[in-house]
Amino acid sequence: MAEGHSPLAQFEIKRLVPMQIGDIDISFTNSSAFMALAVITATAVIVLGMRRHAVVPGRWQSIAELAYLFVANMVRDTVGSEGRRYFPFIFTLFLFVLCGNMLGMIPYGFTYTSHVIVTFTMASVIFIGVTVIGFIKHGIHFFGFFLPPGTPLLMAPLAVPIEVISYFSRPISLSVRLFANMLAGHTLMKVFAGFIVSLGVFGFVPFLFVFALTGLELLIAFLQAYVFTVLTCLYLHDALHMH
């Protein structure tokens, strides 16, 4: 397992099954393998947990129900009752990001959410989807979103460009927030883990730090999945209700 000595070597994409269509490389990489694993894990937890569908849930069913209720409450509180039709997508998104972040915490695991192309693709799809939903619902009046109600018309030449720029910064901030959190956290863990062996006797100091940092990273993994999803719900609310 020649991982290399750099703490950034963990983010390297390795082709497991090389495949090509003409010039385009569509190999099955370690990133794809962990994405497939995340889908299988999330599906297994929910489907197998609900197998008994008892009225009084056992432990596994409680986990599945808790996850469902958590996201359902989030959607209802942020988007409102019209958000129910988007709940499957939001639930899938939440579980995909959560499982991606958590699978990276396994030693020698790969965090596919630590690659900006993955998070940017997700954020772009959300951004384009939410904008299209806004246009379908409000038609041309969706452009009124960029002039907040109550601003004097004199301020419009200043307010509208600022609103447009902040609207277009949403996919960038959404993707960079997730990817930078995962990248920074995992790099920090590998850097300090490298000190454990090299310090010899005093290696217990970086060990305790890595111990605490792992706990923090687990919290951040969950928190970033939650924030990604809740911001998606807020953008959806903006598109449906226009402030």
Partner 1 sequence: MELAAAKMIGAGLAAIGVIGAGIGIGAIFASFIQAVGRNPAAAGAVTQMTWIGFALVEAIALYALVIAFMILFL
Residue ranges binding partner 1 (CB under 8 A):
173, 176-177, 180-181, 184, 223-224, 226-227, 230-231
Task: Reduce the DSSP state of residue 26 to 3 states and report it.
Answer: coil
Distance of alpha carbon 194 from alpha carbon 188, whole angstroms = 10
Task: Decide whether 133 or 227 has the Cβ nearer to partner 1.
Answer: 227
**What is the closest distance, in whole angstroms, from the C-beta atom of residue 69 to partner 1 in the complex?**
14
Query: For residues 213 and 104, is the Cβ–Cβ distance under 8 A?
Result: no
CB of 179 to partner 1, least distance (A): 8
Strands 20-21 and 24-25: antiparallel
The distance of closest approach from Cβ of residue 77 to partner 1 in the complex, given in angstroms and rounded to an integer, is 8
- In the complex with partner 1, which residue's Cβ is closer, 155 or 212? 212
Q: How far is the CB of 197 from partner 1 (least distance, A)?
A: 25
Our CA angle for 44, 48, 54, nearest 5°, is: 150
- Lookup result for tokens 């949403």: 170
Nearest approach, Cβ of 184 to partner 1 (angstroms)? 6
C-alpha distances out from residue 170 to 69, 76, 90, 143, 165, Å: 27, 22, 17, 16, 9
Task: Report d(CA 213, CA 9) in Å as an integer.
Answer: 19
Measured from the CB atom, is 46 or 233 closer to partner 1?
Answer: 233
First to last CA, the chain: 53
Residue number, 105 or 227, with CB nearest to partner 1: 227
CB of 210 to partner 1, least distance (A): 19
Tell me whether residue 227 or residue 242 sits nearer to partner 1 (CB atom).
Answer: 227
- Would you say 61 or 114 has its CB closer to partner 1? 114
The DSSP output letter for 21 is E
Comparing CB distances to partner 1, the nearer of 43 and 73 is: 73
17 pairs with which residues across the strands? 28
Are 78 and 237 a contacting pair, CB within 8 Å? yes
Q: How far is the CB of 207 from partner 1 (least distance, A)?
A: 25
